[in-house]
């Protein structure tokens, strides 16, 4: 790889890690946050849900802003919001205020995920862009393995509030990197005004396309199952099984490893067996593992090793579904790929956040509500896939072409989901 591409990959990878670290680094602190701020388990889980809902809503905004004003100004704006949200979390006196600042943090963190993808498109195309994106995604995929351990270390040394001091410093460092190391990649003559009429017309095309909506919601409800795990795991692993924050971080890393390891094989497998076939098998595999786990835990077999092992396999199946569903959703919309990507990412985040909010009142430190909610999410996901795949006439044409031939278009297969923890 050329030195210039390596430098770009390093800069953009570090910028993209801001958002995932604000999730993964925070996970070990959730029980302590609830105790300190007087929050119930449900209220404390809303600190995750609020972040993802804000992250999803903001995705649809930063794309047009970056096209009109260039890449750097909206990126810096988002990082300023991220810093403000992080600082607010440091001083939050109660759980409601903390949730509000987490929402603000999510609004800002989305910029550091959305805009770097546009920067890649500005500088590279074809195989070069794919190689660069793969390197950036590889940097992001390290977050679920390292960030919880880093968060645990910070908690042991200085308490949970120091996590958000570290995140604010990371946001400030990202601003400095953006200002002084990352060049502006969108020349003034290539910038376009925000045209609400065209945006609305493109949105109507997308929401009326059953392939786009079906694939988006397949990914969205699949992601909701992973988000349920994110919001519940720290309480279950520490409260029910008695793990320390460090031990929880290691257990979480093992579960996340299944997702990210499998996602690296999504591209080659999709080319070999077809994208639609891989989605069907991935959804089915996840459903089987989730229902089996829920049945075993409901029958009293709630060993920690059983849960970690089953979730590892289930998340591996999900690692094949989410990035592939993103590609299927975008395949027919190359002319509005930016809008389709933003809208699809927003809908997936909102589905995941709202699903978690709906099932949150039933959560406790027991593993049964967590695994039952995961199974519910993937059952809905499997139902949507069945309806989309077999009953929609448009899908019978377009999706079968995808199944038999694989994706032959210009959209590169992402290695990780759009949030990315």
Domain boundaries, the chain: 1-183, 195-408
Residue 208 clears pLDDT 70, i.e. is over it: yes
Residue 398: what pLDDT?
A: 44
- The whole-number average pLDDT for the span 74-101 is 96
Residues 248-262: pLDDT tens digits?
A: 888 888 877 777 777
For the chain, the maximum distance between any two Cα atoms, rounded to a whole number of angstroms, is 65
Q: Which residue has the higher pLDDT, 388 or 35?
A: 35
Pick the CATH number of 195-408 from 3.30.450.40, 1.20.1250.20, 1.20.120.790, 3.30.479.30: 1.20.1250.20
The fold of the 1-183 domain, in CATH, is Growth Hormone; Chain: A; (1.20.1250)
Does the predicted TM-score (pTM) go above 0.85? no
- The whole-number average pLDDT for the span 86-103 is 96
Residue 117 clears pLDDT 50, i.e. is over it: yes
CA distance 218 to 224: 10
Secondary structure, 3-state, the chain: CCHHHHHHHHHHHHHHCHHHHHHHCCHHHHHHHHHHHCCCHHHHHHHHHHHHHHHHHHHHHHHHHHHHHCCHHHHHHHHHHHHHHHHHHHHCCCHHHHHHHHHHHHHHHCHHHHHHHHHHHHHCCHHHHHHHHHHHHHHHHCHHHHHHHHHHHHHHHHCCHHHHHHHHHHHHHHHHHHHHCCCCCCCHHHCCCCCHHHHHHHHHHHHCCHHHHHHHHHHHHHHHHHHHHHHHHHHHHHHHCCCCHHHHHHHHHHHHHHHHHHHCCHHHHHHHHCHHHHHHHHHHHHHHHHHHHHHHHHCCCCCHHHHHHHHHHHHHHHHHHHHHHHHHHHCCCHHHHHHHHHHHHHHHHHHHHHHHHHHHHHCCCCHHHHHHHHHHHHHHHHHHHHHHHHCCHHHHHHHHHHHHHCCCCCCCCCCCCCCCC
Residue 417: what pLDDT?
A: 39
Residues 376-394: pLDDT tens digits?
A: 777 775 666 666 554 444 4
CA distance 117 to 54: 19
Residue with tokens 């290691």: 250
Residue 403 clears pLDDT 70, i.e. is over it: no
Residues 228-280: pLDDT tens digits?
A: 887 788 888 888 888 887 888 888 888 777 777 777 676 677 677 777 777 78
Residues 143-196: pLDDT tens digits?
A: 777 888 888 899 999 999 999 999 999 999 999 999 998 888 888 888 878 778
Residue 106: what pLDDT?
A: 93
Residue 340: what pLDDT?
A: 73
Please give the mean pLDDT across all residues of the chain: 79
Residue 401: what pLDDT?
A: 44
Residues 329-341: pLDDT tens digits?
A: 766 665 665 677 6
């Amino acid at each position: 790889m050329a030195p210039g591409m390596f430098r770009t990959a390093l800069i953009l990878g570090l910028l993209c890690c801001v958002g995932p670290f604000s999730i993964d680094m925070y996970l070990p602190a959730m029980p302590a946050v609830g105790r300190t701020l007087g929050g119930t388990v449900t209220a404390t889980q809303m600190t995750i849900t609020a972040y993802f809902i804000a992250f999803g809503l903001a995705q649809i905004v930063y794309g047009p802003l970056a096209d009109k004003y260039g890449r750097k100004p909206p990126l810096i704006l988002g990082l300023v919001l991220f810093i403000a949200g992080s600082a607010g979390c440091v001083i939050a006196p109660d759980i409601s205020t903390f949730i509000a600042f987490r929402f603000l943090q999510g609004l800002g963190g989305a910029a550091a995920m959305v805009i770097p993808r546009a920067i890649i498109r500005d500088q590279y195309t074809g195989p070069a862009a794919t190689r660069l994106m793969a390197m950036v995604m590889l940097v992001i995929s390290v977050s679920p393995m390292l960030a919880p351990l880093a968060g645990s270390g910070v908690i042991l040394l200085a308490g949970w509030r120091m996590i958000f001091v570290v995140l604010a410093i990371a946001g400030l460092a990202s601003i400095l990197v953006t200002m002084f190391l990352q060049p502006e990649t969108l020349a003034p003559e290539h910038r376009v005004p925000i045209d609400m009429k065209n945006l609305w017309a493109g949105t109507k095309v997308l929401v009326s396309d059953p392939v786009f909506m079906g694939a988006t919601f397949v990914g969205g409800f699949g992601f909701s199952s992973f988000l349920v795990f994110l919001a519940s795991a720290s309480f279950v692993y520490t409260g029910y099984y008695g793990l320390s924050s460090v031990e929880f971080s290691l257990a979480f890393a093992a579960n996340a490893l299944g997702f990210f390891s499998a996602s690296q094989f999504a591209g080659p497998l999709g080319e070999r067996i077809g994208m639609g076939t891989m989605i069907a098998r991935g959804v089915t595999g996840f459903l089987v593992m989730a229902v089996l786990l829920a049945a075993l835990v409901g029958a009293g077999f709630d060993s920690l090793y059983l849960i970690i092992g089953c979730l590892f396999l289930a998340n591996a199946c999900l690692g094949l579904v989410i990035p592939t569903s993103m590609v299927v959703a975008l395949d027919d919309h190359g002319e509005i790929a930016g809008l389709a990507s933003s809208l699809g990412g927003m809908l997936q985040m909102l589905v995941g956040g709202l699903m978690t909010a709906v099932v949150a009142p039933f959560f406790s430190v027991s593993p049964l509500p967590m695994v039952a909610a995961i199974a519910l999410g993937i059952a809905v996901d499997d139902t949507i896939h069945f309806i989309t795949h077999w009953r929609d006439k448009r899908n019978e044409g377009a999706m079968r072409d995808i199944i038999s031939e694989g994706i032959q278009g210009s959209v590169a297969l992402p290695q990780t989901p759009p949030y990315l923890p």
